[in-house]
Amino acid sequence: MEQNLVDVFFFGKKYSVPENLTIMTAMEYAGYKLVRGCGCRNGFCGACATIYRIKGDNELKSCLACQTKVEEGMYVATLPFFPLEKKQYDMENIKPTEQVMMQLYPEIYSCIGCNACTKACTQELNVMQYIAYAQRGEFDKCAEESFDCVMCGVCSSRCPAGISHPQVAELARRINGKYLQPQTQHLIDRVNEINEGKCEELIQAIMNKPLEEIKELYNSRDFE
Protein backbone atom coordinates (compact mmCIF):
# COMPACT_ATOMS: atom_id res chain seq x y z
CA MET A 1 0.00 0.00 0.00
CA GLU A 2 1.46 3.35 -1.07
CA GLN A 3 2.07 5.82 1.72
CA ASN A 4 1.63 9.57 1.44
CA LEU A 5 4.92 11.27 2.28
CA VAL A 6 5.62 14.73 3.63
CA ASP A 7 8.89 16.63 3.65
CA VAL A 8 10.14 17.53 7.13
CA PHE A 9 13.43 18.92 8.43
CA PHE A 10 15.11 17.45 11.51
CA PHE A 11 17.90 19.70 12.77
CA GLY A 12 18.00 21.38 9.34
CA LYS A 13 18.23 18.20 7.25
CA LYS A 14 15.39 17.26 4.89
CA TYR A 15 13.61 13.89 5.08
CA SER A 16 10.54 12.43 3.39
CA VAL A 17 8.45 10.50 5.91
CA PRO A 18 4.92 8.98 6.06
CA GLU A 19 2.37 11.65 7.00
CA ASN A 20 0.70 9.50 9.69
CA LEU A 21 3.79 9.35 11.93
CA THR A 22 4.42 11.32 15.07
CA ILE A 23 7.54 13.48 15.16
CA MET A 24 9.21 10.86 17.35
CA THR A 25 8.44 7.90 15.11
CA ALA A 26 9.28 9.98 12.02
CA MET A 27 12.74 10.67 13.45
CA GLU A 28 13.23 6.93 13.93
CA TYR A 29 11.93 6.30 10.41
CA ALA A 30 14.55 8.77 9.17
CA GLY A 31 17.28 6.80 10.91
CA TYR A 32 17.73 8.63 14.20
CA LYS A 33 18.41 6.44 17.20
CA LEU A 34 16.69 8.09 20.16
CA VAL A 35 18.75 7.54 23.30
CA ARG A 36 17.74 10.84 24.94
CA GLY A 37 14.52 12.81 24.70
CA CYS A 38 12.51 9.60 24.47
CA GLY A 39 10.77 8.32 27.59
CA CYS A 40 7.25 7.02 28.07
CA ARG A 41 6.20 7.72 24.44
CA ASN A 42 2.70 8.52 25.67
CA GLY A 43 2.84 12.16 26.70
CA PHE A 44 3.37 11.72 30.42
CA CYS A 45 7.10 12.12 31.06
CA GLY A 46 7.90 15.37 29.22
CA ALA A 47 11.20 14.04 27.88
CA CYS A 48 10.47 14.78 24.21
CA ALA A 49 9.87 18.53 24.32
CA THR A 50 10.09 19.87 20.79
CA ILE A 51 10.20 23.25 19.05
CA TYR A 52 9.01 23.50 15.46
CA ARG A 53 7.96 25.92 12.73
CA ILE A 54 5.99 25.29 9.56
CA LYS A 55 7.58 26.66 6.39
CA GLY A 56 6.04 30.01 5.53
CA ASP A 57 4.65 30.53 9.04
CA ASN A 58 6.44 32.90 11.41
CA GLU A 59 4.97 31.34 14.57
CA LEU A 60 7.34 29.20 16.62
CA LYS A 61 5.38 26.30 18.14
CA SER A 62 6.09 23.79 20.90
CA CYS A 63 4.84 20.26 21.53
CA LEU A 64 5.74 16.79 22.74
CA ALA A 65 7.25 14.76 19.91
CA CYS A 66 5.41 11.59 20.91
CA GLN A 67 1.97 13.22 20.55
CA THR A 68 2.30 15.46 17.51
CA LYS A 69 2.09 14.29 13.91
CA VAL A 70 4.45 15.56 11.24
CA GLU A 71 3.28 18.16 8.74
CA GLU A 72 4.51 19.20 5.33
CA GLY A 73 7.32 21.73 5.64
CA MET A 74 7.84 21.19 9.36
CA TYR A 75 11.20 22.32 10.74
CA VAL A 76 11.93 20.47 13.98
CA ALA A 77 14.42 20.80 16.82
CA THR A 78 14.02 18.68 19.94
CA LEU A 79 14.67 19.98 23.45
CA PRO A 80 15.46 16.82 25.47
CA PHE A 81 16.85 18.85 28.37
CA PHE A 82 16.45 22.45 29.46
CA PRO A 83 18.63 23.80 32.29
CA LEU A 84 16.03 24.60 34.93
CA GLU A 85 17.09 26.20 38.21
CA LYS A 86 16.51 23.55 40.89
CA LYS A 87 17.10 24.72 44.44
CA GLN A 88 17.94 22.35 47.29
CA TYR A 89 15.64 22.34 50.30
CA ASP A 90 14.47 20.11 53.14
CA MET A 91 10.71 19.63 53.22
CA GLU A 92 10.86 18.99 56.95
CA ASN A 93 12.13 22.52 57.53
CA ILE A 94 10.09 24.42 54.95
CA LYS A 95 7.07 26.39 56.13
CA PRO A 96 4.01 27.02 53.94
CA THR A 97 4.45 30.80 53.80
CA GLU A 98 4.95 33.24 50.94
CA GLN A 99 8.54 33.83 52.12
CA VAL A 100 9.65 30.37 51.00
CA MET A 101 9.23 31.38 47.35
CA MET A 102 11.05 34.66 47.99
CA GLN A 103 13.97 32.69 49.42
CA LEU A 104 14.17 29.88 46.89
CA TYR A 105 12.76 31.27 43.64
CA PRO A 106 12.89 35.08 43.86
CA GLU A 107 12.92 35.34 40.07
CA ILE A 108 9.17 34.69 39.98
CA TYR A 109 8.69 38.27 41.19
CA SER A 110 10.45 39.46 38.03
CA CYS A 111 7.61 38.09 35.86
CA ILE A 112 6.61 40.75 33.32
CA GLY A 113 3.25 39.15 32.49
CA CYS A 114 4.10 38.43 28.85
CA ASN A 115 2.30 35.06 29.00
CA ALA A 116 4.95 33.42 26.77
CA CYS A 117 5.10 30.52 29.24
CA THR A 118 1.39 29.77 28.88
CA LYS A 119 1.51 30.02 25.08
CA ALA A 120 4.46 27.61 24.97
CA CYS A 121 3.09 24.98 27.38
CA THR A 122 2.81 21.56 25.73
CA GLN A 123 0.00 20.65 28.17
CA GLU A 124 -1.96 23.87 27.56
CA LEU A 125 -1.66 24.86 31.22
CA ASN A 126 -2.17 28.41 32.45
CA VAL A 127 1.45 28.70 33.52
CA MET A 128 1.47 32.43 34.18
CA GLN A 129 -1.54 32.00 36.47
CA TYR A 130 0.07 29.34 38.62
CA ILE A 131 3.19 31.50 38.94
CA ALA A 132 0.92 34.32 40.16
CA TYR A 133 -0.51 31.93 42.77
CA ALA A 134 3.03 31.04 43.86
CA GLN A 135 3.89 34.74 44.18
CA ARG A 136 0.96 35.20 46.57
CA GLY A 137 1.72 32.07 48.58
CA GLU A 138 -1.48 30.37 47.40
CA PHE A 139 0.21 27.00 47.13
CA ASP A 140 -2.99 24.95 46.97
CA LYS A 141 -4.16 26.89 43.90
CA CYS A 142 -0.71 26.70 42.33
CA ALA A 143 -0.65 22.94 42.91
CA GLU A 144 -4.06 22.49 41.32
CA GLU A 145 -3.31 24.72 38.32
CA SER A 146 0.03 22.98 37.65
CA PHE A 147 -1.11 19.43 38.40
CA ASP A 148 -0.70 18.16 34.82
CA CYS A 149 2.78 19.65 34.34
CA VAL A 150 5.21 17.08 32.86
CA MET A 151 8.25 19.33 33.52
CA CYS A 152 9.34 19.44 29.88
CA GLY A 153 10.84 22.91 30.40
CA VAL A 154 9.46 24.54 27.25
CA CYS A 155 7.76 27.28 29.29
CA SER A 156 11.08 28.25 30.87
CA SER A 157 12.83 28.25 27.51
CA ARG A 158 10.58 31.14 26.42
CA CYS A 159 10.69 33.15 29.67
CA PRO A 160 12.56 36.50 29.55
CA ALA A 161 12.71 36.56 33.36
CA GLY A 162 14.50 33.20 33.57
CA ILE A 163 11.83 31.59 35.76
CA SER A 164 12.03 27.82 36.27
CA HIS A 165 8.26 27.35 36.24
CA PRO A 166 8.19 23.53 36.64
CA GLN A 167 10.43 23.65 39.71
CA VAL A 168 8.31 26.39 41.30
CA ALA A 169 5.19 24.30 40.65
CA GLU A 170 6.80 21.17 42.06
CA LEU A 171 7.67 22.99 45.29
CA ALA A 172 4.09 24.27 45.56
CA ARG A 173 2.69 20.75 45.09
CA ARG A 174 5.04 19.38 47.73
CA ILE A 175 4.05 22.09 50.21
CA ASN A 176 0.40 21.49 49.43
CA GLY A 177 0.71 17.75 49.89
CA LYS A 178 2.72 17.91 53.10
CA TYR A 179 1.24 20.87 54.94
CA LEU A 180 -2.09 22.00 53.46
CA GLN A 181 -4.01 18.89 52.51
CA PRO A 182 -5.59 16.79 55.29
CA GLN A 183 -3.58 13.72 56.25
CA THR A 184 -4.74 10.37 54.90
CA GLN A 185 -4.19 7.94 57.75
CA HIS A 186 -4.59 4.74 55.76
CA LEU A 187 -1.90 5.95 53.33
CA ILE A 188 0.41 6.78 56.22
CA ASP A 189 -0.20 3.32 57.69
CA ARG A 190 0.54 1.64 54.35
CA VAL A 191 3.79 3.57 53.87
CA ASN A 192 4.87 2.50 57.35
CA GLU A 193 4.03 -1.12 56.52
CA ILE A 194 6.13 -0.90 53.34
CA ASN A 195 9.06 0.63 55.24
CA GLU A 196 8.83 -2.17 57.80
CA GLY A 197 8.90 -4.84 55.07
CA LYS A 198 5.40 -6.12 55.79
CA CYS A 199 4.37 -5.91 52.12
CA GLU A 200 7.29 -7.79 50.58
CA GLU A 201 5.43 -11.09 50.32
CA LEU A 202 2.42 -9.42 48.65
CA ILE A 203 4.65 -7.48 46.24
CA GLN A 204 6.50 -10.65 45.20
CA ALA A 205 3.21 -12.50 44.71
CA ILE A 206 1.96 -9.76 42.39
CA MET A 207 5.25 -9.61 40.46
CA ASN A 208 5.04 -13.35 39.80
CA LYS A 209 1.60 -13.09 38.19
CA PRO A 210 1.15 -13.10 34.38
CA LEU A 211 1.14 -9.62 32.81
CA GLU A 212 -2.52 -9.83 31.74
CA GLU A 213 -3.59 -10.68 35.29
CA ILE A 214 -1.60 -7.71 36.63
CA LYS A 215 -3.32 -5.44 34.10
CA GLU A 216 -6.70 -6.73 35.20
CA LEU A 217 -5.87 -6.12 38.86
CA TYR A 218 -4.82 -2.57 38.01
CA ASN A 219 -7.88 -1.81 35.88
CA SER A 220 -10.32 -3.17 38.46
CA ARG A 221 -8.70 -1.57 41.52
CA ASP A 222 -10.75 0.50 43.95
CA PHE A 223 -10.73 4.27 43.55
CA GLU A 224 -11.24 6.75 46.37
Cα–Cα dist 101/91, whole Å: 13
- For domain 5-78, give the CATH number: 3.10.20.740
DSSP character for 178? Answer: I
Over residues 93-118, the mean pLDDT reads: 95
Average pLDDT, the chain: 93
Are 51 and 74 in contact by the 8 Å Cβ rule? The answer is: no
Over residues 40-57, the mean pLDDT reads: 92
Are 115 and 108 in contact by the 8 Å Cβ rule? The answer is: no
Instruction: Grade residue 184 by pLDDT with cuts at 50, 70 and 90.
Output: confident
Cα–Cα dist 171/62, whole Å: 24
For the ranges 16-20, 170-174, 198-202, the lowest mean pLDDT is seen at: 198-202
Enumerate the CATH 3.10.20.740 domain ranges in the chain, comma separated: 5-78
Over residues 17-28, the mean pLDDT reads: 96
User: What pLDDT does 1 receive?
Assistant: 55
* Three-state SS at 62: strand
2 has a pLDDT exceeding 80: no
Instruction: Grade residue 48 by pLDDT with cuts at 50, 70 and 90.
Output: very high
pLDDT tens digits, 115-140: 999 999 999 999 999 999 999 999 99
What is the pairing mode between strands 49-54 and 74-78? Answer: antiparallel
